[in-house]
Amino acid sequence: MALKQTPSQTVGPFFAYGLTPEQYGYDLTSVADGMVRDDSTAGTHIRIEGRVLDGQGEVVSDAMIEIWQADAQGRYAHPDDPRGSNADFTGLGRQGTGTDPQSRFRFDTVKPGSAAEGSAPHISLIVFARGLPSHAYTRIYFADEAAANATDPVLSQVPAERRETLIASRTDESGVPTYCFDIHLQGNSETVFFDV
């Protein structure tokens, strides 16, 4: 190992025009946003919604969330995925929490398939925020995948009493399956973050 890692620094409060410009109304194209699929993307169309909460339970309105996921067949749009990627679905989403009146992030996507033998469907997620000097990794699992969740190799490494923090609850009120995933940065119900 010849070189040392470049240190992380907070994304700060002013990332929006650089990283999520279209969402916030700035004149620059976004490389990714909350619309991860399009109308023709194969698979079950779903919505992911959530908030980021600080140690006092206050919503964080200047966080940025990124998600990375497989397509409905569990394939990643990446050359290292030996199953061949789905060129129509990149699987990257990015949303700031500063444009929704309730400071929610929202992703319209497809439900991912299982990406590997024994692995429950999940979405990888990174939290960035002012006040977060290094980014934090977590995963979204799905409440309606109880059987797969029970044998997932990553979930099984999480202490049983904390697993619920990784499981998005489902409502169908909006007509599309909607999974709620609140992220607690601190506190009794602190979300499990991973040393990836």
Partner 1 sequence: MTSTPFRPRDWSSHPSFVDPRADGYRSSALRGPTKPLVPIRQSISELTGPVYGHDSVGELDGDLTRNGRRNGEPLGERIVVTGRVLDENGRPQPNTLIEVWQANAAGRYIHKVDQHDAPIDPNFFGGGRCVTDGEGRYRFHSIKPGAYPWGNHPNAWRPNHIHFSLFGPAFATRLVTQMYFPGDPLLALDPIFSGIPEAARERLVADFSIDVTEQDFALGYVFDIVLRGRDTTPMED
The least distance separating partner 1 from the CB of residue 80, rounded to whole angstroms, comes to 5
Residue appearing with tokens 């002013």: 14
DSSP letters, 127-155, are EEETT-SS-EEEEEEEGGGHHHHHH-TTG
The least distance separating partner 1 from the CB of residue 95, rounded to whole angstroms, comes to 15
The least distance separating partner 1 from the CB of residue 174, rounded to whole angstroms, comes to 27
Shortest CA distance to 49 belongs to which of 97, 129, 121, 105?
Answer: 105
Nearer to partner 1 among residue 38 and residue 171 (C-beta): 38
Which amino acid, 126? I
Nearer to partner 1 among residue 1 and residue 147 (C-beta): 1
Nearer to partner 1 among residue 44 and residue 189 (C-beta): 189
Angle CA 101–59–149, to nearest 5: 105
Cα dihedral: 20, 90, 192, 99 (round 10) = 20
Q: Are 38 and 89 a contacting pair, CB within 8 Å?
A: no
The least distance separating partner 1 from the CB of residue 39, rounded to whole angstroms, comes to 21
Query: Please, what sign has the CA dihedral across residues 107, 110, 115, 120?
Result: positive
Nearer to partner 1 among residue 47 and residue 184 (C-beta): 184
Give the largest CA-CA distance in the chain: 54
Nearer to partner 1 among residue 102 and residue 174 (C-beta): 102
The least distance separating partner 1 from the CB of residue 58, rounded to whole angstroms, comes to 8
